[in-house]
Amino acid sequence: MVGMLLGLAGPTSAQFFNFGGYEQRPQPQRGGGWFGNEQRGGGWFGNDTFAPHQQQYAPQPRWNGRQAPPAPREDFSKAPPPEKRNSVSERHILVLGDAMADWLAYGLENHYADQPEMGVIRKHKTVSGLIKYQPKGDPADWAAAAKGILATEKADAIVVLLGLDDRVAIREPAVDKPDHKAGDKKDAKAKPDGKVSGAKPGAKPDGATKAPDPELPPDDAADNSGARAVTGAEKSAHSPNDIHEFREKRWVELYMEKIEGMIGVLKSKGVPVLWVGLPVVRGAKSTADTAFLNTLYRDAAGKAGITYVDVWDGFVDEAGRYLQHGPDFEGQTRRLRSSDGVYFTKAGALKLAHYAEREINRLLAARSAPIVLPTEPATPDASARPDEPAPRPLAGPIVPLTASSVGTDQLLGGPGPRRVMMDAQAARVLITGEPLSAPAGRADDFAWPRREIGREGTKGETPVASTSLDANARAPAASPKPKKQRR
């Protein structure tokens, strides 16, 4: 019996205490669940009760003893899609631009969520700019794309946010030059004497080198004569197909033309236009680039007479540096920017849209305010009955609130003394600073002796309070009652 027990205890102890000398079976792979249940064994009692939770609390899987590759980075360039509305909006805010404009429109939609009469229309292209709208095909720039959008969309206000992808070089556009050679051929006609009208006096015979034509541009003159080549300095001076780097003088000139062209297209709609500046982007170079572009947008908006919305201070700290966490539009400290340092969280999008919403409401309120025009004196209604009141007019005559002190033969603001009409009491109080006398009996009436209520002395008379003795003295003496006679 003892031998049998020792024989059975050997394999059992090897399994529990990992003693050597016995072949160990491969252990099943653990899933790392709550209770260490086996992933392959099906959990407790053969079921998978905790199987949905194993993946949530399991450690990161490893591949051949190494850590698994990191998960792909999240794309923050696209804002959440707009929510569907059951009602039809009366006013529409059209938002144009790149990925930044997508987040701006998302914030405006949340601000106007409780206002069914206000709607937001997103018309953005995530990777685009004023320099290039898309790599291939038409439209090639944002101005052409905006024309097509405005032709089909109804907008009560237009909001633009662009420029994040415009920190690239610009190629000089080709300029159509007049064909001077074709014009010379038309003008060169043979005369009866055998001479050519277009020929010049010092022209050489055919086959010889021609002198450059002074009436042609340098490039055409050089090509026409073949006598000299165009130098590098002449070729680089605003010649077509030249590439100008970001921030160069010529780059700024070409980019300003694109901004002005875009604003011109938007103003043709006849509604308020708002250009929203770029927010700060993380990084010293990116911060300087976006600040430089904002100066161009601000200048162009001021020249065109549209509203420029500056959002820079809302996303920087006191030192002017990029701010990841900060106060939202309600003053609560929240995370405003995404982890890539460019785009926004929901709180950041709401703060970005708050700047634009304030200007949008102001401009729309100014346009929607009713204007009452003065009407002519109404003609009497023949059908009105004499016992009924006359209908009330919509607007009465214009009545000046202040009387004019300028005569008809004197210009307003002209030289010379003018008589100023002012109340005497107002002049004493406002000019000389004399206090107003309080009415008798009021709490601020500090005259002593006290004045009687309802009886004030004349001007210059010092009021004297009456006493009981004076009252008795002024009162008439009562006549004594006659005594009754005894009979």
Q: Does the pLDDT of residue 84 top 90, yes or no?
A: no
The residues that bridge with 466 in the sheet, in sequence order, are none
pLDDT tens string 19-43? 444 444 445 444 444 444 444 444 4
pLDDT tens string 414-434? 666 666 566 787 888 888 888
The residues that bridge with 170 in the sheet, in sequence order, are 244
Buried b (16+ CB within 10 A) or exposed e, 319-339: eeebbeebebbeeeebebbbe
Measure the N-to-C terminal CA separation of the chain; round to a whole number of Å: 163
Using DSSP's 3-state secondary structure scheme, residue 337 falls into strand
Q: Does the pLDDT of residue 305 top 80, yes or no?
A: yes
Q: What's the CA gap between 398 and 365, in Å, rounded? A: 25
**Alpha helix locations (H) across 201-316?**
218-225, 232-236, 249-267, 284-304
Q: Does the pLDDT of residue 477 top 70, yes or no?
A: no
- Measuring CA to CA, which residue among 299, 295, 293, 291 is closest to residue 260? 299
The residues that bridge with 405 in the sheet, in sequence order, are none
Give the pLDDT confidence score for residue 219 in this predicted structure.
Answer: 41
Buried b (16+ CB within 10 A) or exposed e, 388-414: eeeeeeeeeeeeeeeeeeeeeeeeeee
The residues that bridge with 190 in the sheet, in sequence order, are 196
Using DSSP's 3-state secondary structure scheme, residue 144 falls into helix
pTM of the model: 0.55
Cβ distance 198 to 184 under 8 Å? Answer: yes
Please name each of the domains of the chain with its CATH number.
91-169+245-368 (3.40.50.1110), 209-242 (no CATH)
- What's the rounded mean pLDDT across residues 61-69? 60
